[in-house]
Amino acid sequence: MKKLFLYIFIISNTFIMYSQSPYSFYGVGVNTFKGTMDNRSMGGLNVYSDSIHLNLTNPASYSELKLVNYSVGVNYNKYNFKTDNTNESASSGNINYLAVGIPTKHFNFGFGIIPQSSVEYFLTSTDETAVPERVNRYEGEGGVNTAFLTFGFKLFKRVDPETKVGKFIKNIGYGVTANYEFGNLRHTASRFLKDIELSTRLENNSSLSGVNFVYSTLIKEKIFKNLTLQATYIFKPASKLSSNNTQRLGTIPISGGYGGDFEDIDLAALNLEKTKITIPKSNSFGIGVGEETKWFIGFDYTKVDGGGLDNKLFKLENVEFKKASKIAFGGFWIPKHDSFTSYFSRIVYRAGIRIEETGLHIQNQAINEFGINFGFGLPFQGFSNLNLGFEVGRRGTKNAGLIQEDFFSVRLGISLNDRWFVKTKYN
């Protein structure tokens, strides 16, 4: 029964229903977080940072923060799924992140929660050639969330002998993020036979948890007149998620719901009750140049080791995780950030592209992604802003009987800034 999952992608003479992504079955689901709304509108750049926005993918960016920042992001996705003989559509929406960043005298820190990955699919396939006629149904839900705590700081260069005050190395920032990841994954496979009252159903549940860390360095240096160079390196060591698994096999009536008998499968005897999922290590490099409060253009490259992400509870043939990578290129432009006469001159105009090798290979076919992004930063109430972004992209392929996903995303982020720890002066 477990091997039936493989064939949700290799089907013919079939009617299929989709919700979000069928590729979310594999590993720990589809990665749904690729940065804050302002960063994603620039192709998902990791390298850019400033004093009034949070960059949740780069811990060292917190060293630049000057104001308390509250950030939240939501998105809406419209999908179109294509095979050689079917064409279906679906939509979904969710919160993308909740975060707070707080600057202090000696270091800055932040915390929040991120829905990191998502499992959400519903598919049916009909085999009219089988006797009796056979309908297979596959469902999945859940995902992995990340609760994080980030510290960003700059090292002391020296202590002034007269004032006894330490001076920072202003152009180099460091950061570290501690992540606690948790979530639940639920996958079911059901088979219905024509004119048979009860059908078989296999349920698989996994409860995941684990801790990992991210380290980064950020350099900001003026190189020529008003031009500033930004460069960053981000390192995420390999980590493991503990998976507590349950599995049961039973029957359900054609009308839906539960019926018949369900039996828990002894996973302890199969050495599958408690397993580990490896999250491979990654390295990211970024570089960019721009003029403060006017424009910026940058490039990122991320490399992820192969292997890992396999769930031993669903060991499948012709499916493997190889090395992954991502290229991001983008930037922004502000006509005149301090204009008093034109609001449109103070808007931040952003654009970028991303190209990703996800590492997932099915039937020797690489499941890759690309996206074209653009967006706007709309200022209000001082340094606070509303960030609106759009993306047009594609995931997967129709080769080898697989599914091609075309998607359009609308994203909205709010970045609120405030001052804390400021003494009020009275005359």
Report d(CA 375, CA 387) in Å as an integer: 7
In a domain, 6, yes or no: yes
Report d(CA 70, CA 417) in Å as an integer: 7
What per-residue confidence (pLDDT) applies to 251? 82
Cα–chain center distance at 126: 33
What per-residue confidence (pLDDT) applies to 421? 52
Q: Is there a contact between 273 and 244 (Cβ–Cβ < 8 Å)?
A: yes
Q: How far is CA 7 from CA 126, 319, 395, in A?
A: 12, 11, 19
- Cβ within 8 Å of residue 12, ≥6 positions away: 85, 401
* Element holding 49 (H helix, E strand): none
H-type helices in 116-176, by residue range? none
Residue entry with tokens 């910026």: 296
Q: Per residue of the chain (427 residues), what is the pLDDT tens digit?
A: 333 333 333 333 343 444 478 899 888 999 989 999 999 999 999 999 999 999 999 999 999 999 999 999 999 999 999 988 888 888 888 899 999 999 998 899 999 999 999 999 888 877 777 778 888 888 999 999 999 999 999 876 555 556 555 555 568 999 999 999 999 999 998 888 877 777 888 899 999 999 999 999 999 988 888 899 999 999 999 999 999 999 999 887 766 555 567 888 999 999 999 999 999 999 999 999 999 999 999 999 999 998 778 777 777 778 899 999 999 999 999 999 888 899 999 999 999 999 999 999 998 999 999 999 999 999 998 889 999 999 999 999 999 888 999 999 999 999 999 876 545 444 4
The pTM of the whole model exceeds 0.85: yes
Report d(CA 53, CA 152) in Å as an integer: 14
In a domain, 426, yes or no: no
Closest of 111, 182, 112 to residue 145, by C-alpha: 182
In a domain, 427, yes or no: no
Locate the DSSP E strands across 266-323.
274-279, 282-291, 295-304, 319-321
In a domain, 336, yes or no: yes
CATH number at residue 189: 2.40.160.60
Report d(CA 373, CA 302) in Å as an integer: 18
Q: Which domain holds residue 155?
A: 2-418
Report d(CA 313, CA 243) in Å as an integer: 10
Report d(CA 321, CA 280) in Å as an integer: 10
Q: What is the dihedral of CA 192, 122, 314, 310, to 10 degrees?
A: 170
What per-residue confidence (pLDDT) applies to 14? 40
In a domain, 423, yes or no: no
Cα–chain center distance at 43: 13
Q: How far is CA 346 from CA 147, 333, 362, in A?
A: 34, 10, 47
Report d(CA 324, CA 14) in Å as an integer: 32
Q: How far is CA 104 from CA 57, 60, 63, 371, 416, in A?
A: 21, 15, 10, 37, 17
What per-residue confidence (pLDDT) applies to 4? 36
Q: Is there a contact between 93 and 75 (Cβ–Cβ < 8 Å)?
A: yes
In a domain, 143, yes or no: yes
Cα–chain center distance at 122: 21
Over its C-alpha atoms, the chain yields an Rg (Å, rounded) of 25
In a domain, 322, yes or no: yes
In a domain, 424, yes or no: no
Domains held by the chain: number: 1
What per-residue confidence (pLDDT) applies to 236? 97
DSSP per position, 83-99 = -SS-EEEEEEEEEEEEE
Please list, residue by residue across 148-181, b when 16 or more beta carbons sit within 10 angstroms of its beta carbon and e when fewer do: bebbbbbeeeeeeeeeeeeeeeeebbbbbbebeb
